[in-house]
């Protein structure tokens, strides 16, 4: 079962995003993918955990990291870790470009959710011989 992990500095924003994802009309997709939402403490991460540890934890526990920061300012930064360790089977990191806008602009939040579910549907269809019934 895959899940979503909010980067520690944007948990409140992702809380709101997940609330929308778990309501109609998105609930169908949330339930179809059997997603779970976790925070750092749920997966044994310290709020001060280096980005490299966060990324590897996400990969081991099948979690999509949602963040607003993918800088490459250190060897263990998120961007450096992604570039060094990503394989064809690695889960992506979703970066939200305008985090404050999630709270004030529902259409922006809906677009972020749509993009996440489009990715999941495409990934699902690559792993199945039939198109998911959600798309019919």
Residue 25: strand, helix, or coil = coil
Residue 13: strand, helix, or coil = helix
Structure tokens at 72: 């490459």
Mean pLDDT calculated for residue range 33-45: 97
**pLDDT tens digits, one per residue of 4-29:** 999 999 999 999 999 999 999 999 99
Mean pLDDT calculated for residue range 78-107: 91
**Neighbouring-strand partners of residue 38:** 5
Other beta carbons within 10 angstroms of residue 18's beta carbon come to 19
Mean pLDDT calculated for residue range 45-49: 96
Cα 41 from Cα 130, distance rounded (Å) = 37
Q: What is the pLDDT of residue 27?
A: 97
- Which ranges in the chain belong to alpha helices (H)? 11-21, 27-33, 51-60, 78-85, 99-104, 106-127
Other beta carbons within 10 angstroms of residue 36's beta carbon come to 16
């Amino acid at each position: 079962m895959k899940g979503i992990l909010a980067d520690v500095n944007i948990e409140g924003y992702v809380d709101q995003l997940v609330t929308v994802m778990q309501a109609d009309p998105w609930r169908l997709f949330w339930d179809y993918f059997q997603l779970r939402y976790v925070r750092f403490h749920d997966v044994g991460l310290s709020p001060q955990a280096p980005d490299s540890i966060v990324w590897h934890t996400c990969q081991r526990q099948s979690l999509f990291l949602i963040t607003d920061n993918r800088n490459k300012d250190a060897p263990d930064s998120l961007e450096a870790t992604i570039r060094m360790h990503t394989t064809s089977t690695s889960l992506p990191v979703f970066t939200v470009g305008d985090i404050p806008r999630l709270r004030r602009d529902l259409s922006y939040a809906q677009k972020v959710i749509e993009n996440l579910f489009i990715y999941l549907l495409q990934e699902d269809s690559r792993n199945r011989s039939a198109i998911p019934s959600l798309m019919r």
